[in-house]
Amino acid sequence: MEHAKEVILSVEHVKKKIGSKLIIKDVTFEVRAGEIFGFLGPNGSGKTTTIRMLVDLITPTSGRIQVCGLDVNRDPERAMRHVGCIVENPEMYNFLTGWENLEHFARMVSGIGQERIQEVVEIVGLSNRIHDKVKTYSLGMRQRLGIAQALLAEPKLLILDEPTNGLDPLGIKELRSFIRTLADSGMAVFVSSHLLSEIQLMCDRVAIISHGEVLAVDDVEQLLTGRNQFVVWQAQPAERAMELLADNEGVTIYSRETAPIDESTLIGIPDYAIVTETAPDIIPELNRKMMHAGIRIEGIQHIMPTLEQLFLELTEGERIE
């Protein structure tokens, strides 16, 4: 898509000092039209402070933030016209209907009529319930109504802070599909979340922030390609297989109990299986060595690296909550 190359949000060398403490350290990234950009960081990483600067709630100490080429600090009114934002659970008037809530918010922005309200209702899939009181809505429906509100002014950038909070698995899946539809229409979507597996499924690119510093920015696939892989070896005799694997540089061996991988991937795997972590390019050579040594290989299972493993590696074991 041609619009996928257009930079909608540009963050350049942004720093934020509170008192004598530098809490945001030279943060740089950009978000393009037609992509979903994930922003990951544990509590205290500077994630929330960065988001507050993006929407002009606080001012950077130095650096520049632009939306559609407009400086957020020097020209906030025009820049913010291109931004829709939902921070955690959107605030709504429970005693009003969904439609009445949207009418109320539409009055705050000039030029939004009934036709545009109907458009956003259809976009978020609330047509059947829009005239019901918000107090009867599920959390997922409230999220959709909040996004409808954020879309009223036809923003080019949608900022969603922890949009999946409180949603059940079905609600998360539906929201993921819906956000993808928005990006496919050309909108730039910025998503902050602590659900690493969800970000991996949802986002095209990610930035990982820790202690106020961006540690990595890239396509999700690019970040994970070429990193160490976990391999589960089912080989007999297991003791000889383990000795041979341990004799190779760059191979880390784990037992089933100590391997830092999702336990569900080991369901049905025998107890004698060996888990290794190694660069993907030496796995074929390890396989050949075992065959030449007369070790019987019953199965090899590759476990691709995850965003969670990358996050733990980059942040030196920091947990995201």
* pLDDT tens profile 116-148: 999 999 988 899 999 999 999 998 899 889 999
Residue 192 lies in a domain: yes
In angstroms, rounded to a whole number, what is the distance separating the alpha carbons of residues 130 and 149?
12
Task: Kindly tell me if the per-residue pLDDT of 302 is higher than 50.
Answer: yes
In angstroms, rounded to a whole number, what is the distance separating the alpha carbons of residues 75 and 77?
6
Residue 104 and residue 36 share a domain: yes
Q: Which CATH number is 29's domain given?
A: 3.40.50.300
Task: Kindly tell me if the per-residue pLDDT of 185 is higher than 60.
Answer: yes
Residue 293 and residue 254 share a domain: yes
Residue 141 and residue 27 share a domain: yes
Task: Kindly tell me if the per-residue pLDDT of 194 is higher than 90.
Answer: no
Q: What angle do CA 316, 317, 320 make, to 5 degrees?
A: 120
Residue 255 and residue 155 share a domain: no
Residue 320 lies in a domain: no
Q: Which CATH number is 299's domain given?
A: 3.30.70
pLDDT at position 89 is 66
DSSP codes joined into one string, 44-103: TSSHHHHHHHHTTSS--SEEEEEETTEETTTSHHHHHTTEEEEESSPP--TTSBHHHHHH
pLDDT at position 88 is 62
Residue 183 and residue 53 share a domain: yes
Residue 299 and residue 204 share a domain: no
Residue 321 lies in a domain: no
Query: What residue has token string 């016209």?
Result: 81
Residue 210 lies in a domain: yes
Residue 174 and residue 39 share a domain: yes
Find the mean pLDDT for residues 17-22: 93
Edge-first strand listing for the sheet containing 70-71: 21-32, 7-18, 62-67, 70-71
In angstroms, rounded to a whole number, what is the distance separating the alpha carbons of residues 309 and 217?
16
Task: Kindly tell me if the per-residue pLDDT of 317 is higher than 70.
Answer: no
Task: Kindly tell me if the per-residue pLDDT of 287 is higher than 80.
Answer: yes
pLDDT at position 270 is 83
pLDDT at position 57 is 92
pLDDT at position 4 is 46
pLDDT category of residue 318 using cuts at 50, 70 and 90: low
CB 52 within 8 A of CB 39: no
* pLDDT tens profile 29-70: 999 999 999 999 887 889 989 999 999 999 999 999 999 999
pLDDT at position 319 is 58
Half-sphere exposure of 262 (CA within 13 A, CB side): 11
pLDDT at position 321 is 54
Residue 56 lies in a domain: yes
Residue 165 and residue 267 share a domain: no
Q: What is the mean pLDDT of the chain?
A: 88
- Which of 189, 206, 223 is the last residue in one of the domains? 223
Residue 158 and residue 296 share a domain: no
Q: What angle do CA 195, 199, 205 make, to 5 degrees?
A: 145
A 10 A CB-CB count for 129 gives 19
Residue 235 and residue 123 share a domain: no
Q: Helix, strand or coil for residue 149?
A: helix
pLDDT at position 1 is 42
* Best CA proximity match to 142, nearest among 85, 103, 101, 113: 101
Residue 128 lies in a domain: yes
* Best CA proximity match to 156, nearest among 182, 117, 192: 182
Residue 318 lies in a domain: no
Q: Can you list the alpha helix ranges (DSSP code H) found in 139-250?
A: 139-151, 169-184, 196-202, 220-224, 238-246
Residue 59 lies in a domain: yes
Which of 263 and 271 is assigned the larger pLDDT? 271
Task: Kindly tell me if the per-residue pLDDT of 214 is higher than 50.
Answer: yes
Residue 133 and residue 153 share a domain: yes
Amino acid at 145: L
pLDDT category of residue 320 using cuts at 50, 70 and 90: low
Residue 170 and residue 61 share a domain: yes
pLDDT at position 313 is 75
Residue 58: give the domain boundaries: 2-223
Say how many domains are in the chain: 2
* pLDDT tens profile 80-96: 999 999 876 678 899 99
